[in-house]
Chains A and B, each alone.
Chain A
């Protein structure tokens, strides 16, 4: 396979990863991304977010009513905070609710709860985008992916992973602060798992396409000296 650095896609062509779990809800967005915006939309198990548009940016899509509803609060908080651990940038597309045919579209009433959620998200550094529907969400996703490409953050490694690489990918994803796309970069940048384990912080930063603090965290974990006496009781699943 080709080295990742030289295999960057021709300008104009960008890749977006789509979570396999949101594919039924996002099918119109995905087909629009492919057909109207010539985006390579690759469906895979992202575990935690709807879309990944670059090496550092996750995009979550929520309907206006979902965002306004109390019952969804806990789930949204969990998703956003876990995404902030894995990604430098987190973006939330707030999409207008679909109206049934024949039903008059009613203007959305901001509740106090909705406003306070928006205020908290903004203060936490989450980027908000407002969309009128699936078509517009696709346009925003394509725009975000292109913007990230111009900043040198485009996903530029092959998206298919086979054989021994798949095992390595699972191992990499277990590392702290490593998202699926970082793990994908790792599996293409390092000759072997051993080469990655023995890498310097700089090499990790470059190979995984992560920031310096994240590379330091990965480095620390690989060299962390375990105390097995602390693990005689139940270990939490996946360390999360």
Chain B
């Protein structure tokens, strides 16, 4: 028996293109991608369980209304899809219609919670093509939601940390940081030394804050 690799990726699709499984040739989805979305389609016979490869290293499995209503076959397909694409972000596009709606919740649990894939519901192939178009075009744009590396200045942060100590305001915080430049140094300073800078009462507060047991 001939065993085909589950997914065959010959190349990353060029920008503005998707690689589609041969079986989608002539479909409403692909026609709409080309028409309104201006996304070009390259067909590939060896995509296996995957329906579309997008340019951004993500791939799509399409589950139609018929797949859902007809029964359990899609579950096996989903597992194969997950196992075949560890290096790619797997997105499952599901037709959520009046007929398939009742199965949606169970489906979401399986896809998101058990398989850890992304699930996006659509009402029709037309809607799916609009969504795919946005995913493809979004790749070239700056993503506002992308996690930014935090490289903010720590100086003001340390300043506000010192001010969290009861009895320490802006002026005292500044005076303290001129002598002890870090929280670590301030924490390990002796009460006597602190008294010279902020007075007895505040020195006591500071010592209490750092060293009294939290009960």
Contact = CB atoms under 8 A, between A and B. Distances in A.
Interface of A: 1, 77, 80-81, 84-85, 107, 110, 112, 115-116, 118-130, 132, 136, 139, 143-144, 147, 163-165, 167-168, 170-171, 174-177, 187, 190-194, 197-198, 217, 220-228, 230-231, 235-240
Contacts of A1: 215
Nearest to A128: B118
B120 A164 contact: no
Nearest to B211: A194
B147 to A, nearest CB: 4
B147 A125 contact: yes
A226 B155 contact: yes
Contacts of A175: 161
A129 B108 contact: yes
Does more than half of chain A's interface fall in helix, strand or loop, or is it mixed? helix
A144 B212 CA distance: 37
A191 B68 CA distance: 55
Interface residues of B, number: 62
B39 to A, nearest CB: 13
Contact of B164 (A122, A171, A177, A236): A171
Contacts of A197: 183-184, 187-188, 210
Nearest to B123: A107
B214 A191 contact: yes
A165 B213 CA distance: 9
Interface in B105-142: 105, 108-109, 112-113, 118-123, 127, 130-131, 133-135, 137-139
A129 B111 CA distance: 10
